[in-house]
Every structure is written in C-alpha cells, then in structure tokens.
Amino acid sequence: MIEAKFYRKQEEDKVRCLLCPHRCLILPGKRGLCGVRENSGGILYSLVYQKAISAHVDPIEKKPLFHFLPGSTSFSVATVGCNLSCRFCQNSDISQAGKETVEIDGYDLPPAEVVRRAKQAGCLSISYTYTEPTVFFEYAFDTAVRAKKEGLANNFVTNGYIEAEPLKAIAPYLDAANVDLKSFREEYYRKICGGSLKPVLDTLILMKERNLWVEVTTLVLPGLNDSDAELQDIAFFIRDNLGPDTPWHISRFFPRYRMDASSPTPPETIDHARQIGLDAGLRFVYSGNLDGGSGESTFCSDCGKAVISRFGFALTGNKIAGGCCSFCGAKIAGVFVY
C-alpha cells in the first residue's frame, strides 16, 4: 500500500477523497466507492499500487483507438476496481472486485517492469485499460512518467469520471484517451451507471484543452440510450465541443453482468446510429462490436476513399502517408507517428 494522492484529512480521522466526482467521505477502516482506496488511521491508501490484475499486448484498435498509431500494439495493464457500477459492465469480474471482496487480487508488476515488457514486445504505447485507470491513479501516473522518459506513448481507456486536478496532473504524460460517453441523460448515468453525466462532459472538454488525442465510445443499449434524440445530442456535443474530426465509436451491446437477460443491440440500430453521427457532421463514425462492413474503416473526408481498412482489430489496408490521404493528399486527423 502507498499513500494515495488527492485527498484531504477531516475530523475524527475521516478523509475526503478528491480523485473523482464522488468525493467520498471515508471513515477509518473503510473504503471509497471504488473499493480500492482505504482509510487507515486517517491516511488514505491505494490498495492496488503495482498490483496488476491483467496485463496483455493488444492491438491499439482494441481500445478502441483508430486514429492513434493505427496498426501498432499497446501494452495494456489494469488493476481491480472502478468508480462506477454500470449494470452492463463487460469486465465486472475485475472492475467490481474490490467492492465485493475484502482481498484485492493481483500480482506484483512495478512500473519499471510494465515499461520493460512494453518495449520488449515492440509496443509503441501503454494503455491503462480494462477497468478504470482513475482508481489506480498512482500506479498509472508513475508508469506513465517512466514510459514517457523511455519513448513510449500513454493512453487512458476511461469512463471519464475524474476530477480536474488529477487529470491536469497526469495530462502532460498522456497522449490519447478513449472516453466512454455512456449516455447524454442524467437519469441514465444515475440509474444504470451509478454516476453523473456532467463530470464526464467536463473531462472530455478538459482533455481536448490539454491537447490529448480524444476518441469517444458509446455503448448503445436497446430502449435505454438508442433514441434518435439522444444520439443526436451526443453527436452534436462531440462536434461542437471536441471537433468534427473526433472519432465516435458506436458499440453494440451484448448481455453482461446485471443485464444478462437483456437482448443484444440489433445491428441495424448501430448502422442507424452511425448515420446519425455522420449526418450531424462528424467525419469519423465507427461501428463497434460489429465485424464487417464499412463501419470499421476510415474514409477520407475529402475524396471519400478508404484510407484505412479494418476487419475486427486488424488492419487490412493502410493508405495514409505522412498523415495524409494517399489518393488526394488531404490531411487525416490523428496521430500516426510517435
């Protein structure tokens, strides 16, 4: 255990965690809502520092990041824990573990070893992913600082539920982020995710201001966040606040966790949602969890030709040279060299 960053001591050995918008008031011997930050004697500790639950080499497209070093691999690392409790969570066995058990699972994987393994595997970046990197902030921060010094890029795959000060602290060491914008309705965030919408919108805007490459993912659930009005609201927010070149990944839902009796999202819903994004003026809108079809490929917004072709997480063609379309020379938004 190491002392956590971003908290304030209170009376009677209570502490106020200032890492995420929950701002948990934690009594001695108790943990915050994330399940992995504990008050011991009036000091807040991280229970997951260098305690990895998962570490793999992944295609960067799996994050998904389609305009950030496409075709490269990323060393992906996570601990247990999450500061939301989404009823559809696809990694609930590790994201919710710290809330449901006293023991914190994981194995020792220090920041230096994460960087060494990433370089040994030929990865161009490290992804803090699978669960929620905000809750293992200290581990991610130390790893990202070291990675940056050794020529690796860093990216967060995140729910965006982080306070401004921690984000500002780690932003100089981050290069990209994929942020889940789960809905554009406060009620959905409260009932389905155990959080709030506005902090996520604030995070997206702040990331853009800090010059991170940002991509957005929305998991579309039938009957819950798939109305034309809500999808248009998301598309307009991305266009007007993050820019029309910001990629939007619209992903198909499959039954998981506490929504295992629900129905998968119909493919035609994903296709329709993608068209809503394109009609709203977004240049790069992608279909997620739906292999095949044009929704996986990147098209030049000037000439309309496919500049990156994909199937699943694999590139099947790349016609970008020097960040430009090989057919017409137009600039393609993204980070293609690091």
Nearest of 283, 185, 302, 172 to residue 233 by alpha carbon: 185
For 158, phi then psi, to 5°, come to -140, 155
Show Cβ contacts of residue 313 under 8 Å, excluding neighbours closer than 6 positions. 58, 59, 61, 62
Exposure b/e, 146-161, CB count within 10 A at least 16 = b: bbbeeebbbbbbbbbb
3-state secondary structure of 79: coil
Q: What is the pLDDT of residue 319?
A: 97
Q: What is the pLDDT of residue 192?
A: 97
Give the separation between CA 80 and CA 335, rounded to whole angstroms: 30
Q: Mean per-residue pLDDT for 89-112?
A: 91
DSSP codes joined into one string, 129-159: -SS-GGGGHHHHHHHHHHHHHTT-EEEEEE-
Q: Are 234 and 184 in contact (CB under 8 A)?
A: yes
- Hey, what are 287's tokens? 């279909």
d(CA 188, CA 258): 15
Residue 338 in this model has a pLDDT that exceeds 90 = no
Please name every residue paired with 44 in a beta bridge, in sequence order, or none if there are none.
39
Backbone phi and psi for residue 334, each to the nearest 5 degrees, phi listed first: 145, -175
Question: Taking 90 as the threshold, does the pLDDT of residue 191 lie above it?
Answer: yes
Q: Which of 334, 242, 311, 328 is nearest to 282 (CA)?
A: 242
Question: For residue 94, what is the DSSP state?
Answer: H
Tell me what pLDDT residue 214 has.
98
Asked if 327 and 319 touch (Cβ cutoff 8 Å), the reply is yes
pLDDT value of residue 324 = 97
Q: What mean pLDDT comes out for the span 181-196?
A: 98
Q: Give pLDDT, residue 282.
A: 98
The answer on pLDDT for 261 being more than 80 is yes
> What is the C-alpha separation between 263 and 23, in angstroms, rounded?
35
pLDDT at 1: 85
Higher local confidence (pLDDT), 262 or 138 = 138
The stretch 27-49 carries a mean pLDDT of 97
Q: What is the pLDDT of residue 238?
A: 98
Question: Is residue 239 over pLDDT 90?
Answer: yes
pLDDT at 292 over 90: no
pLDDT at 215 over 90: yes
* Average pLDDT along the chain: 97
pLDDT confidence bin for 25, thresholds 50/70/90 = very high
Q: How far is the C-alpha of 173 from the C-alpha of 294, rounded, in Å?
A: 34
Give percent of the chain with pLDDT exceeding 70. 100
Least confident range from 102-106, 187-191, 205-209, 292-296: namely 292-296
The mean-pLDDT minimum among 113-127, 182-196, 282-296, 323-337 falls in 282-296
pLDDT at 44 over 80: yes
* Cα distances (angstroms) measured from residue 224 to each of 9, 84, 253, 261, 278: 40, 18, 11, 14, 21
Number of helices (H) and strands (E) in the chain: give both, helices first: 9, 21
Name which of 96-100, 134-138, 187-191, 197-201 the model is least confident about.
96-100
Q: Of 192, 55, 79, 203, nearest to 131 (Cα)?
A: 79
Supply 226's token pair. 């798939």
pTM greater than 0.95: yes
* Cis omega (within 30 of 0) for bond into 199: no
How many CA atoms lie less than 13 Å away from 163 in the CB half-sphere? 15
The CA distance from 314 to 201, in Å, is 30
The strand pairing partners of 217, in sequence order, are: 180, 249
- The domains located in the chain, with CATH, are 2-46 (no CATH), 51-290 (3.20.20.70)
For residue 102, the model assigns a pLDDT of: 84
pLDDT at 100 over 90: no
